[in-house]
Amino acid sequence: MTNTLPVEEGPLIEELAEDAAYLLRGGRLLERRRSAYQEIEVWDTPRFGRLFRLDGCLMSSERDEFHYHENLVHVAAVPHPCPRRALVIGGGDGGSAEELLKHPTIERVEIVELDAEVVDIARRHLPAVHRGALDDPRVRLTIADGLDYVRRYRPAEAGAFDLVVLDLTDPVGTARPLHEEAFFRACRELLAPGGAISLHLGSLTFQQAQVKGLVERLRAVFAIVRPFLAYVPLYGSLWGFAVASDVLDPLGIATDEIGLRIAARRIGSLQHYNGAIHHAQFAYPNHLRTLLA
């Protein structure tokens, strides 16, 4: 049941660790609901505009989503010579699909989202995140468990996707099995030759054990695993991402070539990603080299 509560105000506080938290002031609650899986909230805030939370965790906002979605998609998609088909597991806000559709070669984007109510919230409250991508004819939305979807994908369709984007919540609860080695192996079977998966790893300040474990599991499956770093303001931390593949190496493409591909594909409206940033984000500060090398 939907409750519209426009008068509720207060600070938004997310615990980052037992001894640390992130706080936003001046938020105004627009909607709160409990789905079969989680509590969903939409807030209007002075700093980030509209944002949504799942079980008290900040997910995406209309003013800074590009820090997350551009990195999650383009660091793998631009080095790919011709991405045509993509699978997004999670991503019910439509932000990853919107970035994928910027590539003119994209013919099909499959979104597999567990919670239909996330999609409903996004359609009504977050048009600045999905920008109509959820209704684009190249996009097909399936409400299903991503784990079941990948496991049950017909063998005849193995190698169906050039890109698999894991746009997931943290590896707890229903999302935990989607961060295990077995799931990564199942995703690998869906990749076309030269394909890659991309995902976020977590906070490099507050979740180092999680980041390390995910990188190790990816390296047990893929020949090439490239972690990279970006600061995501809404998450209050330097954030880890990764591209994994048996063939595609995001470091195997020159800075100038990144720029040429962005121009040739007429990818506009990029607020974060460019050729220089692409390579810079793979440079690790000394204190993280052991963790990520």
* pTM as predicted: 0.94
Tokens of 27: 């938020």
pLDDT tens-place string over residues 63-111: 999 999 999 999 999 999 999 999 999 999 999 999 999 999 999 999 9
pLDDT-above-70 percentage for the chain? 96
Q: Do 173 and 192 reside in the same domain of the chain?
A: yes
Q: Do 76 and 89 reside in the same domain of the chain?
A: yes
User: Which residue in 212, 220, 216 sits closest to 246, CA to CA?
Assistant: 220
Active site residues: 167
Domain, as residue range, for 73: 65-292
Q: Do 53 and 159 reside in the same domain of the chain?
A: no
In a domain, residue 123? The reply is yes
Strand duo 161-167 + 191-203: pairing: parallel
Listing DSSP states for 170-199 in one string gives -SSGGGGGGGSHHHHHHHHHTEEEEEEEEE
pLDDT of the residue at 105: 98
pLDDT-above-90 percentage for the chain? 90
CB 77 within 8 A of CB 163: yes
First to last CA, the chain: 47
In a domain, residue 1? The reply is no
Q: What is the CATH number of the domain that holds 14?
A: 2.30.140.10
> With 50 as the cut, is the pLDDT of residue 291 above it?
yes
Q: Do 155 and 239 reside in the same domain of the chain?
A: yes
Q: Do 41 and 81 reside in the same domain of the chain?
A: no
pLDDT of the residue at 268: 87
pLDDT of the residue at 158: 58
